[in-house]
Amino acid sequence: MTLAPPSSDRILNIYLTLNRYPVLSSRIRARMRKKIFKHNVISRKEFNEKARKKAVLSQTREGIQNPFSEESSETWDLRLARVRDSLTDFYFSYSFPQETLQEIIDKILIERGVVTPDLQEFSPDFSSQDVAIDKATTIENLPLEKRVPLEPRLQDTKVVLIRKLISDQLAYINIAKKWFKISDLKKIRSRKIGRGKIGGKAAGMLLAARILAEVAPDEIKKRIRTPDSYYLGSDVMYDMLESSGLMKWIDQKYKSEEKIRAEYSTLEKEFSKATFPDEIVEQLEDLIESAEKQPMIVRSSSLLEDNFGHSFAGKYESYFCPNQGTPEENFAYLTSAIGRVYASALRAEPIIYRRQTGLIDYDERIAILIQFVEGEKVGDYFLPHGSGVAFSRNLYRWSADIRREDGFLRLVWGLGTRAVNQTGNDYPRLVALSRPLLRPADNIKAIQRYSQQYVDIIDLKANKFNTLPVSQVIHSRYAPLRYIAQNIENGFLSALRTNIVDKDKLVITFDELLRRTSFAEDMKIALQLLEKHYKSPVDTEFSIKIPNPRAMHPEVEITL
């Protein structure tokens, strides 16, 4: 392929610009070449071959007949370096604007501790998010003495990015700006699909992770992680409504309760068949490819969920995507799940709650949180070792020995849906973190009666979410079994000592998990730290994994 010659003015501008940096020019050109190769303007191999050929031609042009005897290796190296510089200027001028060269120069100057004027003059409010992140990263990486005068600009940029990317709730921003680093915001930006904010659920998860990464004791910090997550910006909801011809539904919140309920089945059906703009489709397809058959969950992340003082827990739906079909089937499953989550914002229950709390006129755009599901295969099923909901305050004290401020868990085996959404015929394990082994039930019959009977799983073979009896999924070869269940023997509960078990005599208790691991203490400390720095009681969903269940006192990994 023949390249049209670039403007000589552009090459001259590069040459004159680099002449201003006689020592740094070699370092600058090295960065220019790196960018040329990264963007496939020319391959590194082809570039080096061209440089060598041009250097040999220049020897002939300068009358050198026998290079080996007439030119020293030092002179050859100098010749080759100058030809490489010339080629670098040529390809860079053809492919990139002058601004890109200036960005490279600025970064190198910053690395040497030189503060450039544009760092003091740029406005994050009127800059793109990428430019704001770039400038703030530069400031954040400065040596302390150089950074101090620019701290106000860094703080301003951080607040603007939090407001644009995450939330415009002042109560949230006041906390978040103290904890988030620009690198955190850059990562959020890289995982956001479409325009708009990422919403309250995602905002809370990320802030909790950042707080614990800073203040949790090291031995706890290494056992806590966050799930692999991606975000659909809140404006994608309106993009979907427009591209799918569904704008007729945007006034649902002002209709009567009877009409909202009557129309919901039709609305949900239409939303489940939603279509998206091409750029959103492309990124969702990339996400499915990167998942590599890992099950996913599609969750709401409402802009109202970061509103301190109002609880939207359980107001919107979440849907699991088993992700076991063809790429086309998985894409259809994912987009249908996204559409149904959007539809759930127009159900009667959240609308009535918003009316009661004076939030009905708020422009409620739902962001979407897409997470890879934590867990492992158990036969044809996929599920975590445990999951549930954690509260920093225990409002259900069944004994005077329980301390309210130590927190409380609703813990289940399998997916956490049975802990989040209470069911009338089944029960999670209730854990008071001040006394983890103290149960509300006080006899064997009551313990068995109020124990978990069903487990939520992803059926990999059937490619669907399902609820099954515990006895149908659990088996004696399940490695973490002794930490999850106990055996009823002679009217008493006892720990499992052998793999030979009668499934009908197993009871889900989690007693050995609570007795032989630091899980309960880790959760208590984490919740207390979050409440302290949020300056408010907190609740969070979690899942657990026991990486080495054969150990006498294994570690427990907690995903928040």
* Calpha distance 143→113 (Å, rounded): 7
Strand blocks (E) in 235-345: 296-302, 318-321
Strands 492-494 and 408-412: unpaired
pLDDT at res. 1: 31
Q: pTM for the whole thing? A: 0.78
In tens, the pLDDT along 86-96 reads 999 999 988 88
Give the sign of the dihedral formed by CA 85, CA 87, CA 93, CA 99. Answer: negative
336 contact partners, CB below 8 Å, separation of at least 6: 272, 273, 274
Query: Among residues of the chain, what percentage have pLDDT more than 90?
Result: 57
pLDDT at res. 114: 64
* Calpha distance 220→556 (Å, rounded): 10
pLDDT at res. 494: 84
Nearest to 186 by CA among 110, 132, 252, 260: 132
Task: Kindly list the distances between the CA atom of residue 27 and the CA atoms of 14, 33, 77, 113, in Å, as whole numbers in the listed order.
Answer: 14, 10, 17, 15
pLDDT at res. 352: 93
Phi, psi of 51 (to 5 degrees): -60, -45
- For residue 465, pLDDT beyond 70: yes
- Tokens found for residue 45: 């191999």
The DSSP call for residue 545 is E
pLDDT at res. 99: 82
Q: How many CB atoms lie within 10 A of CB 80?
A: 17
Query: What number is the average pLDDT over the span 415-440?
Result: 87
Is residue 84 very low, low, confident or very high in pLDDT (cuts 50, 70, 90)?
Answer: very high
* Calpha distance 359→160 (Å, rounded): 25
In tens, the pLDDT along 507-541 reads 999 999 999 999 999 999 999 999 999 888 999 99
pLDDT at res. 311: 61
Query: Among residues of the chain, what percentage have pLDDT more than 70?
Result: 94
In tens, the pLDDT along 1-56 reads 333 334 567 788 888 888 888 888 888 999 999 999 999 999 999 999 999 999 99
How big is the CA angle at 50 (ends 46 and 53), to the nearest 5 degrees? 140
pLDDT at res. 3: 35
Dihedral of the alpha carbons of 121, 125, 127, 131, in degrees to the nearest 10 = 80
* Calpha distance 406→62 (Å, rounded): 83
- For residue 295, pLDDT beyond 50: yes
* Calpha distance 309→455 (Å, rounded): 33
pLDDT at res. 222: 93
- For residue 292, pLDDT beyond 60: yes
What amino acid occupies position 462? A
- Of 163-172, 375-384, 401-410, the one with minimum mean pLDDT is 163-172
Query: What number is the average pLDDT over the span 355-365?
Result: 84
In tens, the pLDDT along 225-256 reads 999 999 999 999 999 999 999 999 999 999 99
* Calpha distance 393→212 (Å, rounded): 18
Q: Please report the domains of the chain, with CATH numbers, ordered by start residue.
A: 8-114 (no CATH), 197-373 (3.30.1490.20), 375-560 (no CATH)
Asked if 449 contacts 441 with a C-beta cutoff of 8 angstroms, the reply is: yes
- Quote the mean pLDDT of the chain: 88
pLDDT at res. 492: 84
Q: In what order do the strands lie in the sheet with 506-508?
A: 492-494, 485-489, 506-508
Long-range contacts from 96-99, C-beta under 8 angstroms, 24+ separation: 96/35, 98/10, 98/13, 98/14, 98/17
Dump the DSSP string for 380-393: TEEE-SEEEEEESS
In tens, the pLDDT along 265-289 reads 999 999 999 999 999 999 999 999 9
79 contact partners, CB below 8 Å, separation of at least 6: 55, 58, 59, 71
Dihedral of the alpha carbons of 69, 70, 75, 79, in degrees to the nearest 10 = -110
Dump the DSSP string for 418-473: HHHS--TT--PEEEETTBTT--S--SHHHHHHTS--EEEEEETTTTEEEEEEHHHH
Dihedral of the alpha carbons of 347, 348, 350, 351, in degrees to the nearest 10 = 110
Task: Kindly list the distances between the CA atom of residue 450 and the CA atoms of 461, 505, 508, 509, 510, in Å, as whole numbers in the listed order.
Answer: 31, 15, 10, 10, 13
- For residue 73, pLDDT beyond 90: no
pLDDT at res. 307: 57
pLDDT at res. 244: 94
pLDDT at res. 116: 61
- Tokens found for residue 436: 């983890």
pLDDT at res. 2: 31
Asked if 163 contacts 155 with a C-beta cutoff of 8 angstroms, the reply is: no
Query: What number is the average pLDDT over the span 396-413?
Result: 92
- For residue 419, pLDDT beyond 90: no
The DSSP call for residue 54 is H
In tens, the pLDDT along 97-143 reads 888 888 888 888 776 666 666 666 677 887 778 778 888 888 888 88
pLDDT at res. 312: 61
Is residue 145 very low, low, confident or very high in pLDDT (cuts 50, 70, 90)?
Answer: confident
